[in-house]
Amino acid sequence: MKGVSSRVQEGFTLSHEGGMSHRTVRMAAAFLALVAGTGCATQSPQALVSGDAASKVYVAPGHYDEFYAFLSGGYSGNVSVYGLPSGRMLKIIPVFSQFPENGYGYTQETRAMLQTTYGEIPWDDTHHAELSQTDGVPDGRWLFINGNNTPRIARIDLTRFETDEIIQIPNSAGGHAAPFTTGNSEYVVSATRFSVPIPNTDMPIENFKAGFKGTISFIRADQPGKMDVAFQILMPGYDYDLGHAGKGPSAGWFFFTSYDTEQAYTKLEVNASKNDKDFIAAVNWKLAEQCVKSGKAKTMPTAYAHNYTDEKTRVATSEIKKSVLVLEPSACPGMVYFIPTPKSPHGVDVDPTGEYIVGGGKLATVIPVHSFTKMLKAIADKAFDGELSGIPILKYEAVMAGEVQKPGLGPLHTEFDGKGYAYTSMFISSEVVKWKLGTWEVVDRAPTYYSIGHLMIPGGDSKKPWGNYLLAMNKITKDRYLPTGPELAQSAQLFDISGDRMKLLLDFPTTGEPHYAQALPAAMIRDKQVKFFALANNGNPYAVHSEAEGGIERKGKAVHIKMAAMRSHFTPDNLEGVMVGDTVYFHVTNIDQDWDIVHGFAVLGMHEANLILLPGETRTLKWVPLTAGVYPFYCTDFCSALHQEMQGYIRVSAPGSNVALKANMSDRAKTQEARKGAMTMPAAGEPKGQVK
Ligand code: CUA
């Protein structure tokens, strides 16, 4: 087996340098597999990797992975979490999309998270995961992720793997260059992929050049619950694609790619591909801060939502903010420069030292690398090629550090291993290319299957990469897995990059369409996980802290039921006195205080998703019964040997009936009640921030 594998690997090398087709290699490899009697003949030969690969990704039962990897979920609107090197999926974290699996975005407590100025939106398209940083290194506090369609940025707490906060970005369309962070997460950024009229107003599309603008937003991000758009920079109407903060010497700067500097607004595949060079915008955000402080920014009326989950009640509230500070580059000279970059650049990545700024020109034949030192000198020397909208254009040659020659086709993104090497994804030639910083020579290349988009090295965009693994996230899957109809699983591939040559270790399927990802050593956050919520601290106004506090109460047409869930019953279980025309709120609290003891709740005919109740947590299901009858409810999460017994009934009578309100309490509840006195219900009104 080992011999066969190494011969197949030679085949790959051949395919690359000798121009052999994939098909030829595949046939040759299949033949080798056959003659060696390995039984692999029916598999795609690309599945054959070097003999020790299996042991490098094998995590024995009961053992943990070395890294947490956070992959954007693309058009699922979520984040998925994997262990590396095994590729085992650990969790899907709902962010911008309703998630029926646990009721996120359906429950009365979480719906406010999905509020925007366009109303409640149950979906978005996530692109770039970004870990919070301290001194330029991932610190394991939070993960940020952007919504690309209705521009938003979310903050996920990594002690709970839950979305706590979402901020909408005003004056923006296509929040693609987001949510990249500054070195201490002072800010995360969001820049517009689509330029639009700002403020957005009715206008002929052919007014694009004169009337459409881009914005770059800096969002304060260093305090939970306090995310806010600190300021926006008004930019020419290009498509702003990706960004990365400077670090070390370049720490006060931020870099953004742009394409469509042609300002085409139709048939972009041709019309936005005409210029030899587009721009990387270099933004001095420290100077921008000073300009804002000295009153150079204008207050623009606008509207955007800020949604936040309170720590004690675990209830989300949404507020609409009404204005934003906007800076024109001409009002703050020295804040923005354009660096010409070939050609329609996509990624912009800063090496761990902070000196090199790498552009990934989708249509470029080289990988251009800019020098921060030379950029400062070019600015001091005024080595400009004119200006656009008050933004000086630096001379390409004055800023260029070097070009990686003949890297392959379609360079997109670059990550770094911290040992002096860079790794660039090549979409068109389907490969990862490893090259040396400073000499710009290509030292290795490895094929990917197929059409790689982003790649990720744990910490590979930070000051301190943990540079042993590289994850390729591929856009086309084709023959990698058992086929599943017209749409195949999304695909990631793990490479060992600890040695001189990259070694393919593993394929694993992913959900949604992952774009960017981040990873950090599991030891950084593994022992910080919340195991349950202390019931005593549960501040939800409808929480119960014991079975005795359960009950039913009518407030006009609204019926509130406070219910305790524990192994293995609900208190109360049977309920009567509800009528057609009522709106019923089931406020269910899991009063178990044990790690991973989770209950669920669902009632016949409900229009929402089930509640999943973490230990110590209260969640509310809104239910509008349409016809008289008796409706069962039950626990949806297999919680104990008597999980199937965890059920109850709610009786619904005709409008105007005289059936009395009644809640059947458990024997234990009755004892507790006798001891503590009568149960109490909160004052009339909904929990704060509830959305109907
Ligand atoms: Cu509680 Cu099943």
- The response to whether residue 639 sits with its C-beta less than 6 Å from ligand 1 reads yes
Q: Is 637 in the pocket of ligand 1 (CB under 6 A)?
A: yes
Q: Tokens in use for 231?
A: 């300021």
When the pLDDT of each residue in the chain is averaged and rounded to a whole number, the result is 91
Summarised one tens digit per residue, pLDDT across range 119-139 is 999 999 999 999 999 999 999
Separation CA 501–CA 273 (nearest Å)? 35
Cα 648 to ligand 1 centre (Å):
12
502-519: pLDDT as tens digits:
999 999 999 999 999 999
- The rounded Å distance from CA 64 to ligand 1 centre is 27
How many angstroms is it from 642 CA to the middle of ligand 1? 8
Instruction: Please report which confidence band the pLDDT of residue 672 belongs to, taking 50, 70 and 90 as the band edges.
Output: confident
Residue 646 is predicted with a pLDDT of: 97
Instruction: Confirm or reject: Cβ of 564 under 6 Å from ligand 1.
Output: no
Place of tokens 């897995």: 481
- pLDDT: which is higher, 24 or 426: 426
Rounded to whole angstroms, what are the CA distances from 304 to 74, 153, 167, 493, 531?
23, 12, 8, 38, 34
Ligand 1 nearest-atom number relative to CA 568? 1
Q: Tell me, what's the pLDDT at 676?
A: 65
In ligand 1, which atom is closest to the CA atom of 640? 2
Pocket lining: 643 vs ligand 1, CB cutoff 6 Å = yes
Task: Give the position, in ligand 1's atom list, of the atom nearest the Cα of 598.
Answer: 1
Please give the distance, rounded to the nearest whole angstrom, from the Cα atom of residue 122 to the centre of ligand 1. Answer: 27
> Which pLDDT band, with edges at 50, 70 and 90, does 7 fall under?
very low
547: three-class secondary structure by DSSP? helix
Q: Which atom of ligand 1 is nearest to the CA of 566?
A: 1
Q: How far is the CA of 158 from the centre of ligand 1 (A)?
A: 26
Q: What pLDDT shows up at residue 686?
A: 43
Ligand 1 center to 579 CA (angstroms): 27
Residue 647 Cα to ligand 1 middle (Å): 9
The verdict on the CB of residue 592 being under 6 Å from ligand 1 is no
Q: What are phi and psi of 670, to 5 degrees?
A: -65, -40
Q: What is the reported pLDDT for 52? A: 85
638 CA distance to ligand 1 centroid (A)? 5
- 640 alpha carbon – ligand 1 mean position (Å): 6
- The number of the ligand 1 atom at minimal distance from the alpha carbon of 567 is 1
- Which residues is 508 bridged to in the sheet? 492
Ligand 1 centroid to Cα of residue 649, in Å, is 16
ω before 199 within 30° of 0 (cis)? yes
DSSP letter string over 596-654? T--EEEEETT-SSPPEEE-TT-EEEEEE---SSEEEEEE--S--STTGGG-EEEEEEE-
What is the whole-number distance in angstroms between the Cα of residue 93 and the centre of ligand 1?
22
Looking at the predicted structure, is the pLDDT value of residue 690 above 50?
Answer: no
Distance 637 CA to ligand 1 centre (A): 5
Residue 17 has pLDDT above 90, yes or no: no
Question: Is the CB of 165 inside a 6 Å radius of any atom of ligand 1?
Answer: no
Report yes or no: 181 and 144 within 8 Å, Cβ to Cβ: yes
The ligand 1 atom at the shortest distance from the C-alpha of residue 635 is: 2
Distant-in-sequence, close-in-space partners of 637: CB < 8 Å, separation ≥ 6: 598, 599, 600, 612, 643
State pLDDT tens for residues 355-371.
999 999 889 999 999 99
Average pLDDT over residues 300-323: 97
Closest CA to 443 of 488, 404, 479, 410: 404
Whether the CB of 563 sits within 6 Å of ligand 1: no
Distance 599 CA to ligand 1 centre (A): 5
646 lines ligand 1 (CB under 6 A): yes
| E strand residue ranges, 428-502 | 431-436, 442-447, 452-456, 469-474, 490-496
Residue 635 Cβ < 6 Å to ligand 1: yes
Atom in ligand 1 nearest the alpha carbon of residue 644 = 2
CA separation for the pair 318, 308 (Å, rounded):
7
CB 593 within 8 A of CB 534: yes
Rounded to the nearest angstrom, the distance between the alpha carbon of 644 and the centre of ligand 1 is 7
* Residue 608 CB less than 6 A away from ligand 1: no
Q: How confident is the model at residue 597 (pLDDT cuts 50, 70, 90)?
A: very high
Question: pTM for the full model?
Answer: 0.91
CB atoms within 10 A of CB 301: 9
213 lines ligand 1 (CB under 6 A): no
**498 vs 18: which has the higher pLDDT:** 498
Q: Is the CB of 602 under 6 A from ligand 1?
A: no
Reference 216, options 156, 282, 130; nearest CA is: 282
Q: Mean pLDDT, to the nearest integer, of 168-191? A: 98
Nearest atom, ligand 1, residue 565 CA: 1
Task: Judge if the beta carbon of residue 569 lies within 6 A of ligand 1.
Answer: no
Ligand 1 atom closest to residue 600's alpha carbon, by position in its atom list:
1
Q: Ligand 1: which atom is nearest the Cα of residue 638?
A: 2
pLDDT in tens, 218-241: 999 999 999 999 999 999 999 999
Atom number in ligand 1 closest to CA 637: 2
Q: What share of the chain in percent tops pLDDT 70? A: 90
Asked whether 31 lines ligand 1 (CB < 6 A), one says no
Predicted confidence (pLDDT) per residue in 527-583, tens digit:
999 999 999 999 999 999 999 999 999 999 999 999 999 999 999 999 999 999 999
Q: Please work out whether the CB of residue 638 comes within 6 Å of at least one atom of ligand 1.
A: yes
Relative to the CA of 639, which ligand 1 atom is closest?
A: 2
Nearest alpha carbon to residue 489 among 83, 35, 185, 80? 80
CA-599 nearest atom, ligand 1: 1
The alpha carbon of 240 and the centre of ligand 1 are apart by a number of angstroms equal to 49
Compute, in angstroms, the gap from residue 659 CA to the centroid of ligand 1.
Answer: 30
Q: Which atom of ligand 1 is nearest to the CA of 636?
A: 2
CA 378 to chain centre: 37
Please give the distance, rounded to the nearest whole angstrom, from the Cα atom of residue 533 to the centre of ligand 1.
18
Omega of the bond leading into 85 within 30 degrees of 0 (cis): yes
Ligand 1: centre distance to CA 598 (Å): 7
> What's the whole-number mean pLDDT along residues 140-164?
98
| Dist. CA 615 → ligand 1 center (Å) | 12
- Of residues 148, 132, 152, the one with CA closest to residue 140: 132
The response to whether residue 260 sits with its C-beta less than 6 Å from ligand 1 reads: no
**Ligand 1 centre from 165 Cα, in Å?**
29
| pLDDT at residue 400 in the model | 97
Q: Can you give the pLDDT at residue 50?
A: 64
Does 622 contact ligand 1 (Cβ within 6 A)? no
Q: Which residue's alpha carbon is nearest to atom 1 within ligand 1?
A: 599
Q: What is the pLDDT of residues 158-178, one digit of tens each?
A: 999 999 999 999 999 999 999
Percent of the chain with pLDDT over 90: 88
